[in-house]
């Protein structure tokens, strides 16, 4: 069996858009290199989470063959792992947003900070926040961070809500997933215990939030930004706290192939490393072309050493959340022109290699949110005959009948 590339284009699937001749951005985009795969391709059209609209963590897990309802212990575990922290069983690991509040209301869920500003805030929080338990806060990129609170006495619980109003948690037994929710109010909720054993955790997390709030107001970053009329970093939003190791079965052992990941975001890094993949050293770049060239290089190097490579591109999802469908189809064209082009210099689907192109969920550019629609999947390998096009409509019409769930893509591909 040849090499395998698994390309996940975040939120690539969409709905038909009137101004794009009733095509989706994926259908509208001119995809020369993807089209060159069509003579040896099959389409799939699986559901990711049934009627629920997935967040990226569950979408990526499902695409990589891990049922989120069976494995997800909370996104915070992957976020912290992806930031280079060391979440442990019994600690609580959370995703953090640096945000702006006015009184008890939320003005913005994200205050973008420079590297230097975020480093100062990280230091202030770690040195000045007073908690009865040991903790570590780590700055990520822009406004995203991770927090681990440790309790040697193992009193912490994952059964708590978020204080970020846009995300609600749902439990499947002791497994925990989060979903985007339409909040009716801009009042910042307190973190609440959802089971009686989580009252201690509720208290600790709310204490961290109010302490961090006080500390942030004393930082030079806050004072300088206030003087200059810039968005303020004065609040922390905590979400998706995880207590348990998701214990993903090792993907290398599961399928007998050595995997590498070319991913830049902490969440995707966390999932890939929890699955046992080797992470190629890479940072997510703001300029899409530079990011794609960087990832293309990295995939090319990974294919020299590894049997299979998972590569992720974020920007299509970000553009959809902003309603920028023109920029979205343009981004898909760039992905085709730079990344897929480069991958096809390295692998040959008519000669035993395989490429899978899909997304973790659809993100509608008109609704500006993730939807629960089935996702488009292209699987190119010499075992398949021609398909007409790669897009949502064609995938819906002509798809492999044995892939009805996203978790079935990976086992199917690994048996080709």
Q: Contact 129/211 with Cβ under 8 angstroms?
A: yes
Shortest separation between residue 398's beta carbon and Zn ion, angstroms: 25
Shortest separation between residue 267's beta carbon and Zn ion, angstroms: 9
Task: Name the segment binding Zn ion (CB under 5 A); options: 44-52, 79-87, 127-135, 356-364.
Answer: 356-364
Identified binder of Zn ion from the candidate list 8, 10, 215, 255, rule CB under 5 A: 10
Rounded-to-integer distance, Cα 165 and Cα 4, Å: 40
Q: What do you get for the CA distance between the two ends of the chain, in Å? A: 8
Rounded-to-integer distance, Cα 236 and Cα 233, Å: 8
Residues 132-151 that bind Zn ion (CB under 5 A): none
φ, ψ of residue 13 in degrees (nearest 5): -65, 150
- 57 makes contact with Zn ion (CB under 5 A): no
Identified binder of Zn ion from the candidate list 122, 327, 353, 360, rule CB under 5 A: 360
Identified binder of Zn ion from the candidate list 24, 56, 93, 97, rule CB under 5 A: 56
Q: Where are the beta strands (DSSP E) in 68-207?
A: 92-102, 105-108, 134-139, 144-150, 167-172, 175-180
Rounded-to-integer distance, Cα 307 and Cα 322, Å: 36
- 240 makes contact with Zn ion (CB under 5 A): no
Q: Contact 218/175 with Cβ under 8 angstroms?
A: no
Q: How many residues bind Zn ion (CB under 5 A)?
A: 5
Shortest separation between residue 360's beta carbon and Zn ion, angstroms: 4
Task: Name the segment binding Zn ion (CB under 5 A); options: 77-85, 139-147, 172-180, 354-362.
Answer: 354-362
Task: Name the segment binding Zn ion (CB under 5 A); options: 55-63, 72-80, 135-143, 265-273.
Answer: 55-63
Rounded-to-integer distance, Cα 169 and Cα 333, Å: 35
Rounded-to-integer distance, Cα 28 and Cα 21, Å: 8
Task: Name the segment binding Zn ion (CB under 5 A); options: 30-38, 175-183, 317-325, 384-392.
Answer: 317-325
φ, ψ of residue 134 in degrees (nearest 5): -75, 145
Task: Name the segment binding Zn ion (CB under 5 A); options: 43-51, 124-132, 197-205, 355-363.
Answer: 355-363
Q: Contact 378/390 with Cβ under 8 angstroms?
A: yes
Q: Contact 97/236 with Cβ under 8 angstroms?
A: yes
* Residue number with the smallest Cβ distance to Zn ion: 56
Report the residue count for the chain: 416
**233 or 376: whose CB is closer to Zn ion?**
376
Shortest separation between residue 171's beta carbon and Zn ion, angstroms: 21
φ, ψ of residue 262 in degrees (nearest 5): -115, 85
**62 or 160: whose CB is closer to Zn ion?**
62
Shortest separation between residue 8's beta carbon and Zn ion, angstroms: 8
Task: Name the segment binding Zn ion (CB under 5 A); options: 48-56, 133-141, 164-172, 302-310.
Answer: 48-56
**9 or 216: whose CB is closer to Zn ion?**
9
Shortest separation between residue 200's beta carbon and Zn ion, angstroms: 33
Residue identified by tokens 């939807």 is 371
**335 or 400: whose CB is closer to Zn ion?**
335
- 161 makes contact with Zn ion (CB under 5 A): no
Burial of 352 (0-12, 13-18, 19+ CB in 10 A): middle
Binding site for Zn ion (CB under 5 A): 10-11, 56, 317, 360
């Amino acid at each position: 069996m040849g090499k395998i590339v698994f390309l996940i284009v975040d939120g690539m699937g969409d709905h038909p858009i009137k101004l794009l001749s009733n095509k989706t951005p994926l259908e509208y985009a001119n995809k020369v290199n993807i089209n060159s795969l069509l003579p040896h391709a099959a389409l799939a059209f699986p559901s990711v989470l049934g009627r629920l609209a997935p967040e990226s963590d569950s979408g990526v897990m499902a695409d990589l063959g891990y049922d989120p309802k069976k494995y997800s212990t909370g996104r915070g575990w992957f976020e912290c792992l992806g930031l280079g922290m060391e979440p442990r069983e019994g600690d609580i690991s959370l995703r953090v947003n640096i945000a702006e509040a006015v009184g008890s209301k939320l003005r913005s869920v994200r205050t973008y900070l420079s590297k230097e500003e975020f480093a100062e805030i990280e230091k202030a929080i770690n040195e000045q926040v007073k908690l009865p338990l040991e903790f570590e806060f780590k700055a990520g990129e822009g406004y995203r961070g991770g927090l681990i609170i440790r309790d040697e006495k193992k009193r912490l619980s994952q059964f708590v809500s978020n204080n970020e109003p846009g995300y609600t948690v749902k439990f499947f037994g002791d497994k925990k997933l989060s979903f985007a929710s339409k909040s009716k109010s801009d009042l910042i909720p307190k973190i609440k215990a959802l089971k009686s054993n989580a009252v201690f955790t509720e208290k600790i997390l709310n204490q961290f939030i109010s302490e961090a709030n006080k500390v942030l107001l004393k930082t030079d970053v806050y004072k300088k930004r206030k003087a200059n009329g810039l968005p303020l970093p004065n609040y922390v939003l905590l979400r998706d706290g995880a207590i348990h190791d998701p214990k993903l079965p090792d993907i290398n052992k599961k399928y007998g192939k050595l995997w590498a990941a070319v991913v830049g975001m902490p969440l995707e890094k966390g999932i890939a490393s929890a699955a046992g993949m080797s992470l190629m050293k890479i940072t997510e770049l703001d300029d899409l072309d530079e990011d794609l060239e960087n990832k293309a290089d990295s995939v090319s190097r990974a294919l020299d050493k590894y049997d299979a490579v998972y590569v992720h591109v974020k920007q299509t999802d970000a553009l959809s959340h902003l309603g920028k469908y023109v920029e979205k189809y343009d981004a898909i064209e760039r992905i085709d022109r730079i990344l897929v082009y480069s991958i096809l210099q390295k692998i040959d689907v008519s000669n035993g290699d395989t490429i899978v192109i899909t997304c973790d969920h659809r993100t509608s550019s008109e609704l500006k949110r993730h939807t629960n629609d089935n996702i488009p999947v292209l699987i190119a390998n010499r075992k398949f005959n021609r398909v007409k096009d790669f897009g949502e409509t064609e995938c819906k019409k002509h798809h492999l009948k044995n892939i009805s769930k996203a978790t079935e893509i990976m086992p199917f591909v690994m048996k080709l």
